[in-house]
Amino acid sequence: MSVYEIAVTRRSIRRFKDKAVPYEALEKCLNAGRLAPCGRNHQVCEYIVINDAEVLPGVFENIGGSVKMPPEKGGPRPEQSPKAYIIILINKTWEEDANRRRISLYDVGMAAENIILVAYEQGLGTCPILMFHENNLKPVLNIPDEYDIALVIAMGYPDESPVAEVATDSVEGWLDDKLVRHVPKRKLEDIVHHNRF
Ligand SMILES: Cc1cc2nc3c(=O)[nH]c(=O)nc-3n(C[C@H](O)[C@H](O)[C@H](O)COP(=O)(O)O)c2cc1C
């Protein structure tokens, strides 16, 4: 797959096969995150990679959104829950002042997309998750005070095949009667302005 094909066919995955993710695949994702563009090359992002079956449930308990919907609403059955996570942390001691956070969040986004695309290249599905309980997750994962959790990326081999479609009246995702997730995306001509707005 070309980078373009990867970028346009990737969809967020919330139901995963009951199959472990090899550490080598996760390490490739982490390395792609490490080398992502970052403001002033300050590299405030650090990562927790989780693939231990004993640690996974403690993360799942503390995330939210569609990945926690009941199965009849497109969420995972227990055996379809994520099989790995990469959690992006911001090391606050590397942020020179409070104004740096705005830049750090761009860094997180850049690293996250590298991770997500390299995961997809290796056959892995991902779902970025901002709905997490930071105060609960930090003790579960022994995260020290000088770190903030910026993003949780759920990972595993996909057990669903969501489809992108052209948005008409709404951009709200929906499930059909076979529980296929449909993801409406705005048309290029509706969002691109040529030369002047
Ligand atoms: C910053 C960000 C936060 C997100 N947070 C969540 C989340 O908490 N739970 C969830 O199930 N999906 C979450 N998502 C996934 C989005 O719902 C998904 O990207 C969107 O519906 C478009 O679908 P697509 O990724 O298949 O193109 C998040 C995505 C982004 C970029």
- For 109-124, the pLDDT digits (tens) are 999 999 999 999 999 9
- pLDDT digits over 9-61, tens only? 999 999 999 999 999 999 999 999 999 999 999 999 999 999 999 999 999 99
Whether residue 95 is found in the same domain as residue 137? yes
The Å distance, Cα 100 to ligand 1 centre, comes to: 24
The answer to whether residues 140 and 118 belong to one domain is yes
How many angstroms does the Cα of residue 183 sit away from the middle of ligand 1? 11
Same domain, 88 and 184: no
Cα atoms found within 13 Å of the Cα of residue 117, Cβ hemisphere only = 17
21 lines ligand 1 (CB under 6 A): no
- 159-181 per-position pLDDT tens digit: 999 999 999 999 999 999 999 99
Query: Cα torsion for 177, 183, 187, 191, to the nearest 10°?
Result: 150
Number of domains in the chain: 2
- Same domain (yes/no): 96, 150: yes
Domain carrying residue 60: 3-161
pLDDT at 187 over 90: yes
38 and 81 fall within a common domain: yes
98 pLDDT higher than 90: no
pTM of the model: 0.98
